[in-house]
Chains A and B, each alone.
Chain A
Amino acid sequence: MKLDFKRSALLLLASVLALSAAACGKSGDDGKTTTDSGASSPSPSTGAQADNTPITFTFFSSDPSPNWNNMQDEVGKVITEKTGVTLKAEFSTGNEDKVALIAASGNYPDLISPKNGASLLVNAGALLDLTELIEKHAPNLKKVYGPYMKRLRWSNEDPSIYILPTYAGVNHTAFDEGGVFHLQHAVVKELGYPQIRTVKDFENAIRQYKEKHPTIDGQPTIGLSLIADNWRIMISVTNPAFFATGASDDGEYYIDPKTYEAKLHYRRPEEKEYFRWLNHLNAIGLLDPESFVQKEDQYKAKIASGRVLGLIDATWGFADAVNSLKAAGKFERTYGHYPVTLNESFKAANLQDTGFMAGWGVGITKSCKDPVRAIKFLDWLASEEGQILINWGIEGKHYKVENGKRVIPPDVLEKKTNDAANFARTTGIGLYNLLSAHYGDGVKDSTGNYFTTNFPEQIQAGYSPIEKEVLAAYGKTTWKDFFPPASEFPVKPWGAAWNIPVDSDSELNVLFKKTQEIVWKRIPQVILAKPEEFDKLWDEFMKDLIDAGVEKQEKLYTELVKARVKLWNE
Chain B
Amino acid sequence: MRSASDRLFDACNVVLMTLVAIVTVYPFLNVLAISLNESLDTVRGGIYLWPRKFTLANYEAIFSFGGLLVGLRNSVLRTVIGAVLGVFSASMLAYALSRRDFSARRPISVFLALTMYFSGGLIPTYILMRDLGLLGTFWVYVLPGLVNAFNVFVVRSYIDGLPFALQEAAKMDGASDWTIYWRVVLPLSKPVLATIALFVAVGQWNSWFDTYLYNGSEEHLTTLQYELMKVLQSTMTGNEQSYRGRNMTEVMATVSPESVKMAITIVVTVPILFVYPFLQRYFVKGMTLGAVKS
Contacts and interface: CB of A to CB of B under 8 A. Distances in A.
Interface stretch (A145-153, A167-175, A373-381, A478-486): A167-175
Interface stretch (B199-207, B251-259, B286-294): B251-259
A89 B234 CA distance: 16
A340 B67 CA distance: 48
Contact of B44 (A91, A304, A420): A304
Contact of A90 (B38, B216, B227, B241): B216
A352 interface: no
B285 interface: no
B214 to A, nearest CB: 10
Interface residues of A, number: 73
Interface in A147-185: 167-169, 172
A452 to B, nearest CB: 9
Interface in B122-149: 122-127, 130
A94 interface: yes
Given A304-B44, A316-B238, A21 B120 contact: yes
B119 A101 contact: no
B100 interface: no
Interface size class of B (residues with CB under 8 A): 35 or more
Interface in B197-255: 212-213, 216-217, 219, 227, 229-231, 233-234, 236-238, 240-241, 243-254
A314 B243 contact: yes
A198 interface: no
B121 interface: yes
B107 A10 contact: yes
A21 B124 contact: yes
A249 B158 CA distance: 63
Contacts of A297: 43, 45, 258
Contacts of B41: 324, 327
B247 A425 contact: no
Nearest to A249: B244
Given A25-B121, A66-B227, A434-B248, 4 more contacts: A24-B124, A305-B44, A316-B246, A419-B64
9 contacts: A24-B124, A25-B120, A66-B230, A89-B217, A105-B123, A167-B245, A301-B46, A320-B43, A440-B247
Interface of A: 7, 10-11, 14-15, 18-19, 21-22, 24-26, 28-29, 38, 58, 60, 63-67, 69-70, 88-94, 97-98, 100-101, 104-105, 107, 167-169, 172, 231, 235, 297-298, 300-301, 304-305, 314, 316-317, 319-321, 323-324, 327-328, 418-422, 424-425, 430, 434, 440-441, 498-499
Interface of B: 38-41, 43-46, 61, 64-67, 106-107, 110-111, 114, 117-127, 130, 212-213, 216-217, 219, 227, 229-231, 233-234, 236-238, 240-241, 243-254, 256, 258
